[in-house]
Chains A and B, each alone.
Chain A
Amino acid sequence: MKYLLEVKNLQTHFFTEDGIVPAVDGVDFELEPGQTLGIVGESGCGKSVTSVSILRLVPNPPGRIVGGEILFEGKDLVKATESEMQSIRGNDIAMIFQEPMTSLNPVFTIGKQISEAIMLHQKLDKKAAKERCVQMLKLVGIPRAEQAVDEYPHQFSGGMRQRAMIAMALSCNPKLLIADEPTTALDVTIQAQIIELMKDLKEKLNTAIMLITHDLGVVAEMADHVIVMYAGRVVEEADVIDLFKDPKHPYTIGLMKSKPSLDGNAKRLDVIPGAVPNPLAMPKGCAFHPRCSHAMDICKEKMPELNKFGDNRKIRCWLHEKEGGEK
């Protein structure tokens, strides 16, 4: 089997009192074992919902996966039973969240929270689990790991909590690690440390990583392959170098322009005009057309398909429709 994870036409909708919000509306991507996939996009584009959909942790009600397949090692997680999912969560697929400050339970020690998963999935006893826990904390670079296991989350700083979260996520040697904005809530020096740590661990453990972020710097640093999402859909997909060297979709180009660069001498950063459309009132045609400077008549009428260009590139845009794209 070539792919570890294959997401096909995933649709996760939220059924609110005001109407249906199609947070994820037909997302496709693949992930090879050991590969790092970056998912970028503005807030509200459906990145996080995609990631919680894979673990089937979409808060229900109001959210539900309404269509598509999530093939993990060939098994469709959309159809898996809750108990099958429980044995996959934390074991084969682990997740790190955005908010290290609130993602750990305040009333249990760090050690207890990490060993819980180890005892559950690795069937180790309390003592062995605690040893493994100390070992994991050392691996993620927590000083005084032996004492730290018995400490509570409030005794940890934000960076240490995120390290503890990473230790927890990696404690059962998952094949896939989903990192949902792992550095967003941390200050810049800590961000760099956490990224270094994740790169380092990835090499040691050969875990595939799905990295969700809106920080292009983090993507450039870590990812092999990138998908760009807009309004619940993939708009561009490319290897990381191609994407940064030659972004094709107007939205990707806009994202690239709006990031500061060290050698640039621009006084002001470019911005993409407008804001993410209201999910309850998506524009007709391409969702990006109201903000797009290249918008044509067809963009207002019909949603373009995600077409393949070459081996590793896909673009969803009418501008590139005629460039020899094949379905």
Chain B
Amino acid sequence: MGRFITRRLLQQIPILIGVSILVFSIIQLAPGDPLASYTQDPNMTKETLEALKEAHGLNKSPVLQYIDYVKNALQGNFGFSFQLKQPVEKLIAERLWPTFYIAFGSLIISIIIAIPIGVISATKQYSVFDYAGTVFALAGISIPAFFLALLLKKWLAIDLRLFPLSGIETPGAMYTGFARMMDYLRHTFIPLIVLGLTGAGGLMRYTRSSMLEVVRQDYIRTARAKGLKERVVIYKHALRNALIPVITLLGFTLPTLFSGAVITEIMFALPGMGKLQHQAVMQRDYPVLMGTNLFLAIFTLLGNLLADISYALVDPRIRLD
């Protein structure tokens, strides 16, 4: 296992180099540049603009710019945000934890909702519960996150006044310890539910179809023929097998959770990666764009690695070495 992980981590290096070249090219090809907004400023002279370009290395050829970027990045220096006037690594680090929290929190909610419903739907195929679950999943897949977010905000935050409208903590409250945790939870309840519900639909359908296939297998009949209780047959013998394909889906979901929450983060004014990236795109903030995209690439690769390792943990037929 250890050897496998090391080998896989080493394999990621060429992939990351490729990704960085691709992302760099796309950013360069996009119209506009970071200094475009300054040209609107009547006080800005041509000379100052040139001097600024020079200072940021923007007048060099793209190839040289890329080489400079990689040189700095290898030393842990991912550049300086043009707009926020802060080092990129600091900006990402600040937004990492809220993003992590929202991503994993909503993933856990999705799993808690989707897997039991998927299993029950499959074992009681074509029952009222199954149809209700299917309708729920369809709704989860097709209702856009922003719309659900607006509905829940109106209902829970405005009408019932149960939760705050936006933000991640009460400004200026300076809670500590448990009170601070509860404050976080209260602020993020609606976004977590929104992301959890919209993610649960697909996962539930996936669990259901995987489960339906497994309960027809011969070894499930063997398990019943041993006299095992139906609960043990379903939740031990069948579920463990049914989860194998679900893990693949989760491996792919992880990176989209880090980037896909952009709209939700903006709507709830959460200081996360999505919001940072959105701002950077709007302002052509090259270093921040490079930094966040590389970060997401790393997470995609880590997600895949995590899925492969979980595979081996669940399915003894898969050996990693």
Are B226 and A105 in contact, CB atoms less than 8 angstroms apart? no
B176 on the interface (CB 8 Å rule)?
no
In whole angstroms, how far apart are the Cα atoms of A321 and B134 in the complex?
Answer: 58
Q: Does A260 contact B (CB under 8 A)?
A: no
A87-113 to B contact mask, C-beta < 8 Å, 1/0: 111110011010100111111110001
Nearest residue in A to B224 (C-beta to C-beta)? A57
Q: Once the chains bind, are B219 and A55 in contact (CB under 8 Å)?
A: no
B315 at the interface (CB under 8 A from A): yes
- Residues A107 and B241 in contact, CB atoms below 8 Å apart: yes
Known A-B contacts A105-B241, A107-B241; A90 and B226 likewise in contact (beta carbons under 8 Å):
yes
Asked if B224 and A107 make an inter-chain contact with CB atoms under 8 angstroms apart, the answer reads: no
Known: A106-B316, A152-B317. A88 touches B219 (CB 8 A): no
Judge whether A102 and B226 touch: CB under 8 Å.
Answer: no
Q: Give the residue name and chain of the A residue nearest to B126 (CB).
A: A61
B246 to chain A, nearest CB (A): 14
Q: Which residues of B contact A215 (CB under 8 A)?
A: none
Q: Nearest residue in A to B230 (C-beta to C-beta)?
A: A82
Q: Indicate if A282 sits at the interface (CB-CB under 8 A).
A: no
Q: Are B316 and A89 closer than 8 Å at their CB atoms? A: no
Which residues of chain A (101-154) have a CB below 8 Å from chain B?
A: 102-109, 113, 116-117, 120-121, 152, 154
Question: Does B219 contact A90, Cβ atoms closer than 8 Å?
Answer: no
Interface status of B225 (Cβ within 8 A of chain A)? yes
Interface assignment of A293: CB less than 8 Å from any CB of chain B? no
B222 on the A face (CB < 8 A): yes
A154 lies within 8 A of B218 (CB): no
Tell me if B229 is interfacial: C-beta within 8 Å of chain A.
yes
Residue of A nearest to B229 (CB): A86
In the complex, what residues of B have CB within 8 A of residue A99's CB? 218
Give every chain B residue within 8 A of A165 (Cβ-Cβ). Answer: 222
Asked if residues A102 and B241 are in contact (CB atoms below 8 Å), the reply is: no
Give a binary string over B210-231; 1 marks a CB under 8 Å from any A CB, 0 the rest: 0000000111011111111110
Interface magnitude class on chain B: 20 to 34
Instruction: Using A152-B316, A154-B316, A154-B317 as known contacts, say yes or no to A105 and B222 having CB atoms under 8 A apart.
Output: yes
Known A-B contacts A106-B241, A106-B316; A116 and B222 likewise in contact (beta carbons under 8 Å): no
User: Chain A's nearest CB lies how many Å from the CB of B126?
Assistant: 8
Residue B314, interface by CB 8 Å: yes
Asked whether B226 lies within 8 Å of A107 as measured between CB atoms, the reply is: no
Contact of A117 among B218, B226, B241, B314 (CB under 8 A): B226
Distance from B170 Cβ to chain A, minimum over Cβ atoms (Å): 48
What residues of B have a CB within 8 angstroms of the CB of A87 in the complex?
Answer: 227
* B225–A95 CB distance below 8 A: yes
Q: Is the CB of B228 within 8 A of A86?
A: yes
Contact A105 B225 (CB under 8 A): no
Could you write out 18 A-B pairs with CB less than 8 Å apart? A52-B221, A57-B221, A86-B228, A88-B227, A89-B226, A90-B226, A90-B228, A95-B225, A102-B218, A103-B218, A103-B222, A105-B219, A106-B219, A106-B241, A107-B240, A116-B226, A152-B317, A154-B316
Given contacts A89-B224, A108-B240, A117-B227, 12 further A-B contacts (CB under 8 A): A57-B221, A57-B224, A86-B228, A90-B225, A90-B227, A97-B218, A99-B218, A102-B217, A103-B221, A106-B219, A116-B228, A168-B226
A residues contacting B by CB (< 8 A) are 52, 55, 57, 82, 85-91, 94-95, 97, 99, 102-109, 113, 116-117, 120-121, 152, 154, 165, 168
B residues near A (Cβ < 8 Å) are 217-219, 221-230, 237, 240-241, 314-317
